[in-house]
Amino acid sequence: MMSLIKTDLVKVLKMQYLFKFKANIDVFSSLIGIQLLAVLFSFGGFYHSTHGWGMVINLQQYSANIVICFTFIWALITAITITTKPYRHYDFTFVTNRLSSSLSNILFLLTVSVLGSITAMLSSNLIKFIVYMFLDDSIVLFKQPFFDFFTGMITTSLYTFLFCSIGYLVGAFIQYHKGFSVVIPVLFMGLLIFDGMTMNSTTITGFTEFYIKESNPFYFLLKTILMSSLVLTAAISIFNHLEVER
């Protein structure tokens, strides 16, 4: 008699995680594409002129803010993409169950969030470098406080992962019923307009402010991790009932 293979979740997770890096390698191409596009947009910088004390200071500020925002969009799209049928079904070709499939997806998203955030933060140097090359006459004030880079990287990673989580849940809804692919964008726009009309931040803007107005790093960490866990748990439980219709 043929002996049956014993297996456990951790072992399968490890295999799926490694597999996903090979299978979803294209997400890095799109990351590079979107970040380079954002770098291009960042060359304009932020112009600011101050007048006084017998002088006019024309200040041009460069940062990777646009790159970071584009990375968020990329994270959202990537997370939605890996919930679509072809991506989900790779797992079912090999060894999986729904939980391990979701968990390995989440681990993958976590890793690409961190990688995407590191490159986003580093891209500020690429912007500065290119700007510096074309500079003619200017006082140049570039600083590289290591601690800022470090906190920025962690914060950006947390934000990016939050976007991934939201994307994963949106993807789960859409996989549950195609109608959500219409309902969710409409709802999002509707709430945004509602916020704009009532002139206060209740729904989407309120949610955004909940994060960007948090100046305590510890609370921020808590808020993002709790929200991500909540959102991902919901997504996992939706996926846990989905059948494979290949």
Partner 1 sequence: MKIIECRDISKMYFRQKALEQLTFSIEENKITGLIGRNGAGKTTLLKLISGFIKPTAGEIKVFSEQPFNNLFVSANSILVDDSMSFPAALNLGDIMDAAAAFYSNWHQPLAEGLLDYFSLEKYKYHNRLSKGQTSTFNMIIGLASRCPLTLFDEPTIGMDAAVRKDFYRALLKDYLAFPRTIVLSSHHLEEIEHLLEDVLLIKNGQCLLHLPIYDVKEMMISVEGKLAIADQVLQEKEIIYEQSIGTNHVHRVLLREEASVEELQGAERMGLKIRPVNASDACVYLTDKGKGVIDDVFNKN
Partner 2 sequence: MNVVTILISIIAVVIAIFLLSKRFKMTYSLLIIYIGALLISSIFIWFISIEDERERIKTDEMTNQFNETLRQGERERIDPLYLMKEETFQIDEDQELTLTSNYEWEVRVYVDRKNIDDGKVEASIYHIGPYVDGVYVTDSLAPYRLKKKEDTLGFYVPQDRTVKVTMGAPEFTVTQFKYGEVFSEDPIYANDPAIYLQVPKSLKIKRGEGVFIDYVK
Footprint of partner 1 on this chain (CB under 8 A)? 1-2, 4-9, 12, 15, 18-19, 22-26, 85-87, 89-90, 92-100, 240, 243-246
80 touches which of partner 1, partner 2, none (CB within 5 to 8 A by kind)?
none
CB of 9 to partner 1, least distance (A): 7
Beta-carbon contacts of 111 under 8 Å, excluding residues fewer than 6 positions away, are: 21
Rounded Cα distance, 1 and 224, in Å: 51
Rounded to whole angstroms, what are the CA distances from 21 to 72, 82, 226? 20, 12, 26
Beta-carbon contacts of 49 under 8 Å, excluding residues fewer than 6 positions away, are: 56, 57, 58, 59
Task: Give whichever of 189 and 244 is closer to partner 1, judged by the CB atom.
Answer: 244
Rounded Cα distance, 198 and 203, in Å: 11
56 counts as binding partner 2 under rule CB under 8 A: yes
40 touches which of partner 1, partner 2, none (CB within 5 to 8 A by kind)?
none
Residues that bind partner 2 (CB under 8 A): 25-26, 28-29, 32, 35-36, 46, 48, 50-65, 68, 119, 121-126, 128-133, 135, 137-145, 148, 151-152, 155-156, 159, 212-217, 220
